[in-house]
Amino acid sequence: MARWHGPVLVDTNVVLEAWRVQAWRALCGGYAVETVEECVIETQTGFQKRRPEQQIDRQTLLAGLKVVHKVPDAERAVALVRDGEIAMLDDGEKALWAHALARSDAWVLCGPDKASLRIGVRLGFRDRLVALERLLEDAGFRPRMPLRAAYRRDWLDRTLVELAQREGEIA
C-alpha cells in the first residue's frame, strides 16, 4: 500500500498507543486523523489508572484531530442493520464503524480490536484496515519505544488472514 493521503479514522486504543510511544503529534502531522465523540470520551476515562505521562491531555488531543464526528442515531441504526455484530463492540468502535459506513469518500481505519477487525473483514473493508506502525513509518516517524504487538503490521496481517479464513473469505 502506498502512503495514504485521505482520512484516517482512529479508535481509542490507537490514540492511547500513539500517546504512549509519543507519536501523537507525528501521526496527526502526517495524516488527517479523525475520530468520533465516543472515542474522545473514552480517552478521558480511566485516567486514574494511568501514570501521569500516559494521561491524554484533552486540548492536545483535540488540536491534533482534523475532525471529531458526532454520530447520529440514524447512522448507528443503518450500521446495525448492515451487521448486527456491531452492537457487540465498545461504544467508541461502534460509533466509529457507524460513521465509517456512512461515508461516501475513501478512508482507512486504524484500530486493533479483533471484533472490530472482524466487522471490517466481513463487510469487505479488509484493504482499508491499517496498522499504526505502517502509518508512523510512512509519516517518517520511528518511536523510541516499541509499539505493542497489536499495533504492528505483522500482527495485523496475520490477524486479518485468520479472520478472513474464519469468515469464509479467501485469504
> Looking at residue 67, what is its pLDDT?
98
Q: Which residue has the cell 494511568?
A: 50
Residue 105 lies in a domain: yes
Count up the domains in the chain and report the number: 1
> Looking at residue 169, what is its pLDDT?
60
H or E segment at 94?
helix 91-102
Residue 171 lies in a domain: no
Residue 1 lies in a domain: no
What are the pLDDT tens digits along the chain (171 aa)? 568 999 999 999 999 999 999 999 999 999 999 999 999 999 998 655 667 666 899 999 999 999 999 999 999 999 999 999 999 999 999 999 999 999 999 999 999 999 999 999 999 999 999 999 999 999 999 999 999 999 999 999 999 999 999 987 654
CATH number at residue 37: 3.40.50.1010
Residue 2 lies in a domain: no
Buried b (16+ CB within 10 A) or exposed e, 28-52: bebbebbbbebbbebbeeeeeeeee
CA distance 139 to 69: 24
Cα–Cα nearest to 89, from 170, 18, 12: 12
Residue 26 lies in a domain: yes
> Looking at residue 50, what is its pLDDT?
64
Residue 133 lies in a domain: yes
> How many residues are recorded in the chain?
171
Q: What is the CA radius of gyration of the chain?
A: 15
Task: Provide the domain limits for residue 64.
Answer: 7-166
pTM exceeds cut of 0.75? yes
Residue 161 lies in a domain: yes
Residue 79 lies in a domain: yes
